[in-house]
Amino acid sequence: MVEKLKMIWQDAKQLKDERGLTLVELLVVVVILGIIAAIAVVAIGGIIENSKKDAMVADAKQMVSAAKLHTASNPEASELTFITPAAGATPASKGKGYDYISDLKDPFGDSDYTAAKVTISEAAGKMSYAVTLKGSAGTEYYFEDTPEKMITKDTLESTTKK
């Protein structure tokens, strides 16, 4: 019996020596998790912004492909309009470009672009294409008469640069 009491006493003593996390240790863990979460939010925000830019570049390249198809059947064409901008009380309207593309949506504004066209020019038998693509109100990125070879995420123009 004495042996059992000694064992119980030792077990109780061991339990007394074992301690849980202190308030300071818990606070440190919470602060570290907060810092990690803040870094993750910033990184995810950048990824979303880049994917929207990529979508706009893809739309511009798709417009050039449509203009090439249009030029094949209409060699005299100098422009292929997808969206004519609103003028006064007249709302924006869809042009012939929609014969080649099903839909164009501004990835930054989740609505239609306000202006979308491809200017077609010929020099020494070689065709060149320049894209104008403007987003809905409040969208800061756009292409303005950008040549086909320069349609990249880096050449997206920003209204904040001006």
Model confidence over 47-72: pLDDT tens digits?
Answer: 888 898 899 999 999 999 999 999 99
Work out the average pLDDT over 64-88. Answer: 89
Please give the order of strands across the beta sheet that includes 93-94. 93-94, 79-84, 115-123, 126-134, 141-147, 157-158
72 assigned to some structural domain: yes
pTM (whole model) above 0.85: no
Contact yes or no for 82/101 (Cβ under 8 A): yes
6 assigned to some structural domain: no
16 assigned to some structural domain: no
18 assigned to some structural domain: no
pLDDT, one tens digit per residue, over 10-46 is 776 666 555 667 888 899 999 999 999 999 988 888 8
68 assigned to some structural domain: yes
Which residue, 130, 78, 136, is CA-closest to 104? 136
The total number of structural domains that make up the chain: 1
- Residue 141: which domain range? 23-158
7 assigned to some structural domain: no
98 assigned to some structural domain: yes
